[in-house]
Amino acid sequence: MKGLNTCLWLESNAEEAMNTYLEIFPNSKFVDKTVGSANMHLPEGAFLAGVIEIAGHEIMLLNGGPHYKLTPAASITIKCENQEEIDYYWSKLGEGGQEMACGWVEDRFGVSWQVVPANVSECLKDPDQERVGRYWSALMQMAKIDLSLLDKARAG
C-alpha cells in the first residue's frame, strides 16, 4: 500500500477551498489538479479536482456536484501545540463557517475540523478517572478550546 489520502466532495467550489487551505496552513503545498474536457462531459479547462498536502497528508478537493453533502460525521483533526495555534486555526477556518462543540468548527465549504490540543487523547486516557471526568466536563462546555480552562479543570 502506498498510503491513505482523503477526498472531499464539494458541490462546485473545490478550487476556492483548495486555495483557501493553501493560504491557511503554513505547512501545505499544491500537488496536482485535474481539469475537465469534452469527453468528461465538462467544459474544457473547468476545474474538476485539486490535490494539496497538509502536514504530509494529501487531500483531494473534488467538484462533484450537489449529489452528496459533507457532514460533521467525518472531520479533519488539527492537533495544536498551544493556545495561539488553536486561536489561529479556529478563526481562519471559522470565517464564514459555523462553530460547533468541543473544538469542532465547520468552515464555509462545509468541511468539519477538530481544532484540539495535541495531548487531548492522552488527557482522556489518564488513569485518574476523576481528572478525566473534570477534563471531559470542561471540554463538553466549550466551542473553541481554552487550554487554560482545560488545565484548571484537569488539575481540580
Judge if 132 and 102 occupy the same domain: yes
According to the model, what pLDDT value does residue 25 have?
A: 98
In degrees and rounded to multiples of 5, residue 107 shows phi and psi of -80, 175
Judge if 5 and 51 occupy the same domain: yes
Nearest CA-CA partner of 112 in 77, 139, 67: 77
Alpha-carbon gap, residue 62 to 32, rounded angstroms:
12
The CATH number of the domain holding residue 140 is 3.10.180.10
Chain segment 141-150, per-residue pLDDT in tens: 999 999 999 9
Beta pairing, strands 104-106 & 98-99: antiparallel
Contact of 96 with 108, CB cutoff 8 Å = yes
Q: Is 78 exposed, middle or buried (0-12, 13-18, 19+ CB in 10 A)?
A: buried
Judge if 76 and 63 occupy the same domain: no
Alpha-carbon gap, residue 83 to 146, rounded angstroms:
7
What 3-state DSSP class applies to 38?
Answer: helix
Judge if 10 and 30 occupy the same domain: yes
Judge if 119 and 75 occupy the same domain: yes
Instruction: Give residue 100's domain range.
Output: 70-156
Judge if 95 and 60 occupy the same domain: no
Chain segment 7-63, per-residue pLDDT in tens: 999 999 999 999 999 999 998 999 999 998 777 777 888 899 999 999 999 999 999
Of 68, 103, 119, the last residue of a domain is 68
Chain segment 74-102, per-residue pLDDT in tens: 999 999 999 999 999 999 999 999 999 99
